[in-house]
A and B are shown apart, each in its own frame.
Chain A
Amino acid sequence: GNSVTQMEGPVTLSEEAFLTINCTYTATGYPSLFWYVQYPGEGLQLLLKATKADDKGSNKGFEATYRKETTSFHLEKGSVQVSDSAVYFCALRSDAGGTSYGKLTFGQGTILTVHP
C-alpha cells in the first residue's frame, strides 16, 4: 500500500535559517505529491504540489522536487520567518487499483517552530 515517511520533529530554527524537512514515499502507480501546512487552530492549506518526476513545486519561498529515483519530496526554504511556524504534512495521491478514489495519504507531520 501507499505510505509517506517524514523526518521526525519537532524542528526548531532561528529566523533566516535554512529549512529542510525530509519526506520519502512508497506508492503504487504514479503518485502526485503534496505539502500541506497547518497553522495553529486552523485547517490544512495546500502549500505546493508536483505531479510527475522531476517536477518542482514552489510557493511562498518553499520548494520541493519530485525525485522518483529516491522516492523523495523534501521541503526546503532558504530563509524561514517566525510566521512559518506550523505543522507541515507531506502527502501523496495515487490511484491504487482504481478503487481508492484518489485517497490522500499523509505523513506523520513535522512541527516547525521558528524563533526571532
Chain B
Amino acid sequence: DTEVTQTPKHLVMGMTNKKSLKCEQHMGHRAMYWYKQKAKKPPELMFVYSYEKLSINESVPSRFSPECPNSSLLNLHLHALQPEDSALYLCASSQEGSLLGYGYTFGSGTRLTVV
C-alpha cells in the first residue's frame, strides 16, 4: 500500500459546525503532515506530527485542532471556521524527518467549503 487516503473528498460546512477530516497511511511512515492549499498556490504547512507527537504548529488558529490517534491515522478537527478557511486540505506522510532523501506522499485532499 503506497497511498495516503483522505476522507471526505468534499465537505461543505457552516460557520457554527464541527467536522473532522481524516487521513490514513499504511506505509510505516512516522511523520505526517497537514497542509492547506488555495487555488493555484503552493501548499502551506499547518502541522507536523513525528512519531505521533505534534512537532510543528505553524501558528495555525485554534479553530483547527490536529490529532494523531496512532501511527497510521491523522485527524484535523474543525470548529467555528470562517469562509476564508475554504481551501483544499492535504495530508501527507514521509519517512522520519531525518531521512531527507525521501519526498512526501500526498493524499488527494479534502475540498472544504465554509458557508
Residue numbers in A under 8 Å from B45 (CB-CB): 103-104
- B27-41 to A contact mask, C-beta < 8 Å, 1/0: 000010000000011
Assess whether A108 is interfacial by the CB under 8 Å rule: yes
Closest chain A CB from B25 CB (angstroms): 13
Q: How many residues of B contact A (CB 8 A)?
A: 29
Residue numbers in B under 8 Å from A108 (CB-CB): 41-42
Residue numbers in B under 8 Å from A32 (CB-CB): 100-103
Closest chain A CB from B80 CB (angstroms): 26
Q: How many residues of A contact B (CB 8 A)?
A: 28
- B43-77 to A contact mask, C-beta < 8 Å, 1/0: 10100101000011000000000000000000000
- Residue among A91, A101, A106 facing the most chain B CB atoms (10 A cut-off): A101
Looking at chain B's contact residues, is the secondary structure mostly helix, strand, loop, or mixed? loop
Residue numbers in A under 8 Å from B90 (CB-CB): 43-44
A104 to B6, CA, bound (A): 20
A94 to B6, CA, bound (A): 27
Which of B's residues lie within 8 Å of A, judged by CB? 4, 6, 31, 40-43, 45, 48, 50, 55-56, 90, 92, 94, 96-109
